[in-house]
Amino acid sequence: MQKPLKFEITHRLPGTLARAGVIRTPHGDIQTPAFIVGGTNATVKSLTPEMIRDFGGQSVLANTYHLMLRPGADIVAQAGGLSTFMHFDGPTFTDSGGFQVFSLGVAYKKGIDAVAHTEKGDAQKASASAEQLVKITDKGVHFRSHFDGQKLFMTPESSMELQHKIGADIHMAFDECPAPLAPYSYIVESLSRTHTWAERCLTKHQDLNAEHDAEGQPRQALFGIVQGARHEELRKRSAEFLGAREFDGYGIGGVFESGEIPTVVKWTNQTLPESKPKHLLGMGAQPMDLFLGVEYGVDTFDCVAPTRQARNGALFTYDGRMNIKKQQYRKDFTPIDNECPCYTCQHFTRAYLNHLFHADEILASTLASIHNEYFIVSTVDRIRGSIKDSSFFELKKDFLTRYYASQPKFLALLSL
């Protein structure tokens, strides 16, 4: 009985949880640490798979909830599975829909940031009165489609069935992502539900893998998702509970800030089995996340911010983030970043990008996304290299002091 996934750790960074290695999947290897590119709708918005390869993207993460609604998991299955359907031949992940419990629930029409950072009283008041598309029960989650209002019910079992139809290499357990400022008692209740669901996911997943065996199809992998919000005892409880079970790897879920990685991620990863891959769900919008994540044991990241921000004109440079739409770049005939070897920086100027954004041309999204993805993916690649040659802390200090030079608030947080 073959394992669907092998994880080999090749290097460790003494005194930290950081390691480098490789995840082997039926669709190929992922050199870790790695940034997994956000491809929610079976597409990395505005990019072709060739572009993804070109900027160094090793793997793509799609979303079960979104693909269930459009085009439907059966259609993806009939197409030959996610990889064939979207013409990306590398390793793929699917998220379970658990995050949509949050984003279409308490965060609906308010935004993640608002729910994560407003005062507790305000957040509760807001969520009590606000419109939501989600109703959570122990059995599963009732969704109303954000497209047409159609009623849907997703359970751990149905999420597994959908993910097996979609056929990515690595699946995520169906979890509840709770609002980070929800009352402690609610977080406890939610965590218990997430654990029960994780066991149900695992059972269903093993059944489905048995079917794959019978059909001579490759097995698929399942990651359990650790929750527990910002509470040490809950994070550790969750990591112990899930760590004791036969998951192929683990996702670190929830909503928290970059500065909390050294606590929340550490509690989680020092408790989970060392030998399993750890995926930090949804984080990687800025370099700090990547360095801190790796330092505290993260093997893979995914984040939609690089492409979303690219579409909105916010571009990474080694000296911090810039807004390319600003007037000051109208006649700036230099690349986004002089040191960047990406396709966009090799061939186009800030003035041209500025023009494309103002003219509302779709190429703006493509060129900007190539650059932002290259920036993040290559940064993780450099971090991986720095673990192998033990220059991690040097790279971390050089990179972050430069990137955050104008943001003393962050620099202080990093204590470089």
Partner RNA sequence: GCAGGGUUGGUAGAGUGGUCAAUUACAUCAGACUGUAAAUCUGACGGCGUACGCCUACGGGGGUUCAAAUCCCUCACCCUGCA
Near RNA by CB under 7 A: residue from 33, 57, 91, 98:
98
Q: Toward RNA, which CB reaches closer, 13 or 324?
A: 324
Residue 142 pairs in a beta bridge with 135, 153
* Closer residue to RNA, CB minimum distance, 17 or 44: 44
Token pair of 350 as six digits: 């800030």
Residue 299 interacts with RNA (CB under 7 A): yes or no: no
Our answer to whether residue 95 is catalytic in this structure is yes
Q: How many CB atoms lie within 10 A of CB 381?
A: 17
Q: Is 362 in the site for RNA (CB under 7 A)?
A: yes
- Piece of 79-87, 120-128, 229-237, 277-285 that binds RNA (CB under 7 A): 277-285
> Per-residue string for binding with RNA, 227-246, x by CB under 7 A?
x-------------------
Q: Which long-range contacts (CB under 8 A, 24 or more apart) does 188-195 make?
A: 188/234, 190/227, 191/227, 191/228, 191/234, 191/237, 191/238, 193/136, 193/138, 194/225, 194/227, 194/238, 195/238, 195/241, 195/242
Residue 136's nearest CA partner among 174, 184, 180 is 174
Q: How far is the CB of 278 from RNA (least distance, A)?
A: 13
Active-site residue among 169, 175, 299, 302?
Answer: 302
CA 179 to chain centre: 17
Within 100-119, which residues bind RNA (CB under 7 A)? Answer: 100, 102-104, 107-113
Q: Point out which span in 19-27, 40-48, 204-212, 381-389 binds RNA (CB under 7 A).
A: 40-48
The C-alpha atoms of residue 262 and residue 2 are separated, in whole angstroms, by 35
Q: What residues are paired with 9 via a beta bridge? A: 21
* 309 forms part of the interface with RNA (CB under 7 A): yes
92 touches RNA (CB under 7 A): no
Q: How far is CA 91 from CA 77, 118, 136, 206, 399, in A?
A: 16, 38, 32, 20, 29
**Which residue from 228, 254, 287, 297 is in contact with RNA, where contact means CB under 7 A?**
254
CA 268 to each of CA 236, 254, 261: distance values in angstroms, whole numbers, following the listed order: 6, 12, 10
Instruction: Show contacts with RNA in window 17-36 (CB under 7 A).
Output: none
Which of 21/282 has CB closer to RNA?
A: 282
Which one is catalytic: 95, 169, 175, 299? 95
- Residues 310-349 touching RNA, rule: CB under 7 A, are 311-314, 323, 325-328, 330
Instruction: Give the whole-angstrom CA distance, residue 400 versus residue 415.
Output: 10
Of 102 and 291, CB closest to RNA: 102
Q: Which residue has the tokens 């992502």?
A: 177
Q: Give me 199's structure tokens.
A: 């066991």
Structure tokens at 167: 């056929």
Would residue 381 show up in a list of annotated catalytic residues for this protein? no
- For RNA, the binding residues (CB under 7 A) are 38-40, 44-45, 61, 63, 66, 95-96, 98-100, 102-104, 107-113, 146, 172, 175, 177, 225, 227, 251, 253-255, 257-258, 281-286, 289, 302-305, 307-309, 311-314, 323, 325-328, 330, 358, 360, 362, 365
Provide the annotated active-site residues: 95, 302
